[in-house]
Chain A
Amino acid sequence: MIKTEIAVIGGGPAGLCAAIEGTKAGAKVLVIDENSKPGGQLFKQIHKFFGSREHQAGVRGFQIGEKLLEQSRELEIEVWLNSEVCGLDSDKNLWVVRDKKESIKVIAERVIIATGAVENSIYFPGWDLPGVMGAGAAQTMININRVLPGKKVLMVGSGNVGVIVSYQLLQAGAEVVAVVDAAPKLGGYGVHTAKVCRAGVPFYTSHTILKAWGSECVEGAVIVRLDNSWNPVTGSEKFLDVDTICIATGLTPLSELAWMAGCKFEFIPELGGHVPLHDRFMETTVSGIYVAGDISGIEEASTAMDEGRIAGVNAAASLGYIDDDKRKKMTEKLWKRLNSLRCGPFGEKRKSSKDRLLTFRGEA
């Protein structure tokens, strides 16, 4: 059995920032991550980030990740890798399995859940064939593992993940045969969409995938046009010669541990589905359990980092490491930064959804 003041579950952008703030305040922090390396999904993000200078706009995701790791090392934050949190209760007892062989109970005074998200699937005949994969999976393959999952790719979904990964597939040397989106409009940031357009990749709006074709793995795909009621138009089917189909149709928060701990949830489709209710300090309905990053609603790494900082500051403050005045000031400052990220046509929608989430705890 091991005791810690703050246990952070997940060593991605949100978790690392939470751990950094908590440690800087003076609290004893333990970060637990199931992967063999920390950084979560930051290291596969090789594009430049948006935002302001303090959000490190113009800096690529993996470089931000390196900075966070450096800071964590300087602060000598304890990070357990290859460690899965298999259980969490409302008394903040964690059941951790280390290196697949050692079972350890961790008793924490505060817990920050920063477990991130998982990609959504869509279902069509052949969706389970090898060669159909999450767009993020393809991104991991090319940017982390440096292996192409295939040579001719169909991207399903034109949102940010769809267009960013499409461009990165091109950078890695694959051909992106087409990007389809069931909506009549493209869904991603203009700057990323334009880059893919300029590379000559055809975009098909009001189109979806009808089926993946192949016996042992993907050997082709059939796409189809959708009418105004989103129904396939017979006769508009088009065969595409592809060996890989990437699905970029959103993400769902990885919230199992918050459910297990008894946190209350609300269903907010704009934020990815069921999200744990939390207040402006990122505390859930279970006292002492905080959330940050994609688990608290699907957004981006830059917002995840600021949410992590808020959770870290407030968890440490509740343990007496930061006085109330300073805590409020630090939180407000971070909220200003968050609001500046949650603007524009994409950010506004997230902001209003996030604000709506806060109303459930009467704190709008």
Chain B
Amino acid sequence: MLRVENHVVLGKIQRGRKVTIIVDGEKVEVFEGEMIAAALMASGKKVFRYTKKHGKPRGVYCGIGRCTDCIMTVNGIPNVRTCITPVEDGMVIKTQRGLGEWRSDTGDD
């Protein structure tokens, strides 16, 4: 279990209501308001995108929206900084390849 429920200093966490997001086609239950990166990390996902040139995996690096390592395609919009973007019910999130593609639809490739 990667979620820190009870904390010695911070106590028990009050999370938002349970919502469902679609990550690479799979339904994942997460908590409303938490950052996409945190929700994915809690579900065990570590690779958020693959680089354009060499196709190398990337994940969370700075966690505060500076480095853009954790960018993914969210609801069809590529290059979204997942560490500072909260999840919303029904969000469609995709592991991004390269610079991603601008698409108006949010369906599968």
Contacts and interface: CB of A to CB of B under 8 A. Distances in A.
Contacts, number: 100
Given A119-B62, A136-B62, A217 B10 contact: no
Interface string B75-90: 0000000011010000
Interface string A125-161: 0001111111011101111011111010000000000
A318 to B, nearest CB: 31
Contacts of B7: 146, 171-172
Interface in B54-96: 56-67, 69, 83-84, 86
B39 to A, nearest CB: 8
Contact of A147 (B3, B57, B64): B3
Nearest to A171: B8
Interface string B13-52: 1010000000000000000001101110110001110000
B38 A141 contact: yes
Say whether chain B's binding surface is mostly helix, strand, loop, or mixed: loop
A46 B63 contact: no
Interface residues of A, number: 36
A136 B5 CA distance: 20
User: Which one of B9, B15, B67 has the greatest number of beta carbons of chain A within 10 Å?
Assistant: B9
Given A149-B41, A216-B46, A141 B60 contact: yes
A93 interface: no
A307 interface: no
B22 to A, nearest CB: 20
Given A130-B48, A216-B47, A147 B59 contact: no
Given A60-B9, A145-B38, A171-B8, A130 B64 contact: no
Given A136-B63, A145-B38, A147-B4, 5 more contacts: A134-B62, A137-B64, A141-B60, A148-B3, A149-B60
29 contacts: A34-B84, A35-B65, A41-B64, A118-B67, A121-B61, A128-B69, A129-B57, A130-B46, A130-B58, A131-B59, A133-B61, A134-B63, A136-B62, A137-B60, A137-B83, A140-B64, A141-B38, A141-B41, A142-B4, A146-B4, A146-B13, A147-B41, A147-B42, A148-B2, A148-B3, A151-B2, A171-B7, A216-B57, A254-B66
Interface of A: 34-36, 41, 46, 60, 62, 118-119, 121, 128-134, 136-138, 140-143, 145-149, 151, 171-173, 216-217, 254
